[in-house]
Structure 1
Amino acid sequence: MNSSGQAVVVILLVAVVVSTIAFSIAGSSLKNIEQTATTEETNRAFSAAEAGIEEALYNLDQTGTIGTSLNNTPLQSGALIKDVSAQDQHSLVLDRLEQDDVAQVTLDGTVSQVRLMWDPSAAMVISIIDSNYNVTRYSSKCNSALSAPFSTVATVSGKCQQDVDVTSTDRIMRVRPMYADTSISVSSNTAGHELPVQSTIVTSTGKSGETERTVQVERTVPVAPAFFDYVLFSASGSLAK
């Protein structure tokens, strides 16, 4: 092969290499652009979902409902609050309640018995406050190793279970785990009657382009801090307002 032919081959090889590099760079640039666009769409969708949550929580505080005008609400960013829904929870369910912390259940006089379930590793102090601010206390554990005032309760499916009678004038039940953290559930044990709303789960979906993202939060009723129990308790067994 003469020198001119070799030069042509070299030029072709260089052209192929340059073209390959150029196409690779172009493909990488397009991919980066697509990823950037997808990230921006995702961020806008999340922001729209969060905006739906904020509006719903505001409406709950003001009116007691999330309202009906949030669905398909356009935002200045170009995103959309696609859907907002709320679901009331009439039972209190916590995956983890820390030792010596307090969970609170609202009562309204419509149920006559409440069922509590928690982990056997914890003892439970239950305080019931009525409309006259009188306090009734129960102390329970799933075995007989503890002395009074702790009473022994049944173990059902690996959980401590206690059914507590309540009256039409009882308004608040507060539960405090002792000795260990625990999961806990509190529900009505009265046929045909539920506890009042204990929390509301709000779900909001935002949309930007073809991207949708969903955010979910749980709004609980206001709870007095743990030290509130020590303020209410007295040696006489009851308090007057």
Structure 2
Amino acid sequence: MHKTEEGFVVIVTMLVMAGLLGIGLSVANQSTQDIADSGNESESVRVFNAAEAEVESVLANPDNFTATAIPLTGATDGLNGALTRHSVTPQTSLKTYLPAGGVATIDLPSGYGSTVTLNWDSAAALMIAVYYEDAGTIKVRYEGVTANGATTIGGFAAASGSPTASIHTFNPTSDVRMIRIKSLLTGTNLSVPNSFSDPQYHLVRSEATGTDGVSRAIEIAKMIEVPPAILDYAVYSGESIIKP
């Protein structure tokens, strides 16, 4: 073999080896990156689980849900070695989604003597039941209201506002104890912007931070637990529900 040919073979061999080396380094780098990403993902899951466990711990203690807020406290050791903390904030207004036939409850053990405002954003009609105390006896009165622009239902009032933003106001007696609002025909987002003296739900926020600085937060709304509407008669009259 001539020297020229030998030199050409050496050059080609070196180029092939350089190419193979580059591919090998690329694969190794990608593998390292995949391992790092996997580690970050695992840490993120562990931290999220710690935040979730903190929420469950808060929900398990009914003493956390009063009219007094619990601010974000100093971090404590939580699940998987993460540092966790939480807050509980009472909300004196109400904002929720009602499916068709769904019921929202405004709990007013302290009473409420001002105008109540309802806002909703669909063609739903609302059936409102106001439970109030009259000379030591709990009574209930009903009123219905259709969405603005919707077909009126007999005996129902018509809301003001617009077809996508209905508004209805009413004045319960000062001895009101509870208001139930039922969505008819379709579901709707419901907002009651009043500031009641009694909390209507609580916002629970949990934060967790892992050993590598990864942080995750969870926030949920804890609604007030109330008996089903079918039990209202028994609860407020003191009588029994008897099936004939």
TM-score under structure 2 length normalisation: 0.80
Partner residue, 2:116:
114
Number of aligned residue pairs: 228
Residue aligning to 1:138: 143
Output the amino acid matched with 2:22. T
The residue number in structure 2 matching 1:218 is 221
Matched residue, 2:34 = 32
Given the alignment, which residue of 72, 75, 82 partners 2:75? 72
Unaligned runs of 5+ in 1: 233-237
Give me the TM-score of the superposition, normalised by structure 1. Answer: 0.81
Structure 2 unaligned residues grouped into runs of 5+? 240-244
Deviation at 1:41, TM superposition (A): 1.5
> Is the CA contact 2:115–2:172 (under 8 Å) kept in the aligned structure 1?
yes
Distance change >3 Å, CA 113–CA 185, structure 1 → 2: same
Question: Any conservation in 2 of the 1:124–1:177 contact (CA below 8 Å)?
Answer: yes
Residue 105, structure 1, aligned to residue 82, structure 2: no
Match of 1:43 among 28, 42, 45: 45
Calculate the aligned-residue CA RMSD, in Å. Answer: 2.8
Matched, 1:53 2:59: no
Give the CA deviation at 1:158.
4.8
Contact 1:52 1:70 in 2 (8 A): no
Instruction: Check the 8 A contact 1:101/1:176 in 2, yes or no.
Output: yes
The corresponding residue for 1:235 is none
Give the residue type in structure 2 aligned to 1:184: L
**How much has 1:200 moved relative to structure 2?**
0.6
Work out whether residues 131 and 178 of structure 2, in 8 Å CA contact, stay in contact via their aligned partners in 1.
yes
Other-structure match for 2:242: none
Deviation at 1:120, TM superposition (A): 5.5
1:36 partner SS: helix
- Label 1:168 to 1:218 Cα distance change in 2 as closer, same or farther (>3 A): same
- Alpha carbons of structure 1 residues 63 and 92: separation in structure 2 relative to 1, 3 Å: closer
Q: Distance in 1 between matches of 2:13 and 2:150?
A: 92
CA deviation digits over 1:16-44, x for unaligned, max 9? 02211220111111111110111011112
What is the match of residue 182 of structure 2? 176
| SS in structure 2 at match of 1:44 | helix
Name the residue aligned to 1:91: 93
Identical-pair percentage: 26
